[in-house]
């Protein structure tokens, strides 16, 4: 029986890309998580000295700027440790497919070493976009953490990896509860998120206040399940009833009448003549063949 290895949630912090498109790693942080219990069983983090200290922003290093990284090890000194943490495990993180994974592979390529390979990958950005939707506003980690009251994102690798795990736990719990009682717990905004019509700030700006308010009301049972009782369908309107009754044009014409050479009715007594004339005008009829023949004989005479 194969033992399932831990899931590794990781995050990297980098400089902004240089003019040549080079990214420098500044920090790597990871936690090892038991896949059966979703608890942290180990962690690793390190600062990394970039090849260009001037590329370090004050936002990341604080008032000390690049001085905070002068004593940090270069990437080649920690590459073996990072390789051991990542290689052969399931990788998990927020937007790692587009950002973190390429930066890791670029850093290993820069020192001429093979990059670690995952046994599988869980990008929480893609998972939440498909399952949870934009009910929190957007899918940034800071927004999701604020939505669940977890705290403020610190933009430090180890802290962000731990926050990512907590966000996934909260989202999974909400989805599990909603799936157990969808008629009661799932709101219209959540239903829109499942169908790809999630409420965004831009869409909400164009809606009236009444419309925006209605998106937070629970879905009625009649939308998702068969009600126990129902109201009988209302009786058809008089207009519909009249339409169902054969009109005068479809009834057989009886009584004496006068016809011209084409066989058309030219005279009729009383109200019956008037009603028949209106019905004939309103309804298109096909001239019988024997009437056409009679008209042709009249012309030849």
Active site residue ranges: 155
What is d(CA 79, CA 83) in angstroms, rounded to the nearest whole number? 6
What is d(CA 269, CA 288) in angstroms, rounded to the nearest whole number? 24
What is d(CA 219, CA 91) in angstroms, rounded to the nearest whole number? 37
Which residues, other chains included, contact 168 with Cβ-Cβ below 8 Å and sequence gap of 6+? 124, 127, 128
What is d(CA 12, CA 25) in angstroms, rounded to the nearest whole number? 7
Nearest alpha carbon to residue 259 among 282, 283, 276, 275:
276
As a whole number of angstroms, the longest Cα–Cα distance in the chain is 122
4-28 in b/e form (b: 16+ CB < 10 A) is eebbbbbbbbbbeeeeeeebbbbbb
């Amino acid at each position: 029986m194969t033992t399932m290895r831990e899931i590794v949630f990781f995050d990297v912090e980098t400089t902004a890309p240089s003019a040549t498109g080079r990214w420098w790693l500044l920090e790597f942080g990871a936690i090892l998580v038991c896949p059966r219990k979703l608890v942290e069983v180990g962690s690793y983090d390190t600062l990394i000295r970039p090849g260009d200290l001037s590329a370090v922003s004050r936002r990341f290093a604080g008032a000390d700027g690049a001085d905070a990284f002068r004593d940090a090890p270069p990437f080649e000194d920690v590459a073996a440790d990072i390789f051991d943490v990542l290689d052969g495990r399931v990788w998990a993180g927020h937007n790692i497919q587009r950002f973190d994974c390429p930066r890791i592979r670029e850093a290993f390529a820069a020192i001429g070493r093979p990059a670690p390979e995952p046994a599988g990958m869980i990008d929480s950005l893609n998972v939440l976009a498909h399952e949870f939707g934009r009910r929190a506003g957007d899918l940034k980690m800071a927004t999701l953490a604020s939505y669940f009251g977890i705290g403020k994102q610190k933009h430090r690798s180890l802290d962000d990896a731990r926050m990512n795990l907590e966000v996934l736990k909260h989202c999974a719990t909400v989805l599990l509860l909603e799936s157990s009682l969808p008629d009661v717990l799932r709101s219209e905004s959540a239903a829109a998120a499942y169908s790809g019509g999630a409420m965004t700030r831009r869409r909400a700006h164009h809606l009236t206040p009444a419309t925006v308010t209605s998106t937070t009301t629970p879905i009625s049972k009649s939308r998702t399940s068969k009600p126990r009782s129902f109201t009988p369908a209302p009786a058809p309107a008089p207009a519909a009833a009249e339409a169902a009754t054969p009109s005068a044009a479809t009834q057989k014409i009886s009584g004496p009448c006068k016809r011209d050479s084409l066989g058309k009715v030219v005279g009729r007594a009383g109200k019956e003549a008037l009603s028949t004339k209106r019905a004939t005008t309103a309804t298109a009829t096909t001239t019988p063949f024997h009437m056409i023949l009679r008209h042709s004989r009249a012309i030849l005479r």
